[in-house]
Structures are given as structure tokens and as C-alpha cells.
Amino acid sequence: MIRQHQSKCFHTYVYRRMWQWLKGHESIYHNPKTILRVMQKYSLLAEIRRRRKWKQMGQQVYKYENLLNRDFHAETLNSKRVTDISYIKTKQGVLYLSIIRDLYDNSIVFYKTATQQTVNLVLDTIRQAVRREKKKAAAELQLHSDQGFQYTSQAYYKRTQQYGITPSMSRRGNPYVNAIAKNFFFILKTECIYPPQTGTFLRSK
């Protein structure tokens, strides 16, 4: 029954939610930890909102000081921004979403999607975001990221130098410093892309 329901809701139910569903809809009463063990045994855990082990996918050439240091307040527009990449499962395959978010008003400055997670996806996101503003504003910009291979690459270093952007970087395996970017992905996925009440997928174009 768990397998059937996870299939209907596109594997979005965590074990506590599955426990509540079994109890409320099927009158099946078990300890929540029992439901967790069953879901772990048969690989039925939710495919979103799961903690994932940090994995290096490419050579790390550059690392930067953590200038943001969890200070998510910005006095002016174009002074502090965060950037990150997340994946979205669609019926046509995986879609990668790269975003840049301004900490002054929490707006998404620019976003770009691609079917592959590459350095060029990040570079194009930065280039398009800078095109929307004057270079002087970009030269005063601090751009924070995690230690993904795209952000430690030689190409990323050259692009930030080209626009006079000051890179900032979280330490390895610490998602909290870049929480503002990850929070956007969480809200986007849970409210717009994988809404449990409808169980629908986003269709990529």
C-alpha cells in the first residue's frame, strides 16, 4: 500500500506523512518508526527533501572565503546575492535550475534551466543577470555559492573576474550558509512543482 501511494504522489511522502495517511485513510495503525523501517527496506523514502551526502563531481580549482557568513541582510540592491543549482524531475526527464537571488529584497534576479548540470549553465546565469544591470553595480556585488564543481572551476573564476564580482563560498557540506537559495528551491518544489494535493509534475519545455 505504501508503494502504491508513493507512486500516486510521485514519492513525495516522508515517513511521518505516510504514517498519518495510513492511519487516517486505511485505518492501519503502526508506530511511525515501523513505517520508516519499511520504507527504508523497500527504498520507498521520499525523493525530495532528503539529505544527500556531499559528493565532488569535478576538480576543485578555486575556493573562496566565506564572506556571507550567514549574514542574510543587505543594505542595498545588487550588493549581496546567492546562487545555486537544483534539479527538478519532470515527465520528460531531469531539468536543472540555476538561480541568482538578491538578499536585499529576496527577488530572483535571473534563472536559467538546462537538461545537463554543467559549468556553462552557471556562467550563462551570471552573464544574463549582469546584462540586466550596469557593470558598475555588478562590480560592487558579492556572490555567494556552495562548493559545487561549477563554482570552483577556472571558468567561474574568470567570469567573476570579468564582471568584477567578489565570490563567497560556504565550507564543504554546510548547506546553512546558503540557506536562502535552498529555501527558494524548497518552496518552489513543495508548493508549485510537487504539490501533494494534486500530485502533478512540471512539464519541461
For the chain, the structural domain boundaries read 2-41, 80-193
**Which helix (H) or strand (E) is 4 found in, with range?**
helix 2-8
Q: What pLDDT is attached to residue 71?
A: 86
Whole-number CA gyration radius for the chain: 20
Mean pLDDT of 58-86: 85
Q: State pLDDT tens for residues 8-37.
A: 877 778 888 899 989 888 888 999 999 999
CB contact set of 149 (below 8 Å; sequence gap of 6+): 56, 57, 58, 59, 60, 119
* DSSP-assigned letter for residue 118: -
Rounded to the nearest integer, the mean pLDDT of the chain is: 82
Longest dimension (CA), the chain: 63
Question: Which has the higher per-residue pLDDT, 199 or 140?
Answer: 140
Q: What pLDDT is attached to residue 199?
A: 43
Rounded to two decimals, the pTM is 0.64
CA 82 – CA 103 distance, rounded (Å): 7
User: 97-106 in b/e burial notation, b at 16+ Cβ within 10 A?
Assistant: bbbbbbbeee
> In terms of CATH, what superfamily is 80-193?
Ribonuclease H-like superfamily/Ribonuclease H (3.30.420.10)
Q: State pLDDT tens for residues 82-137.
A: 999 998 888 888 899 999 999 999 999 999 999 999 999 999 999 999 887 765 55
The confidence band for 201, taking pLDDT boundaries of 50, 70 and 90, is very low
CA 205 – CA 193 distance, rounded (Å): 14
Mean pLDDT of 55-67: 70
Asked whether 119 and 155 are in contact (CB, 8 A), the reply is yes
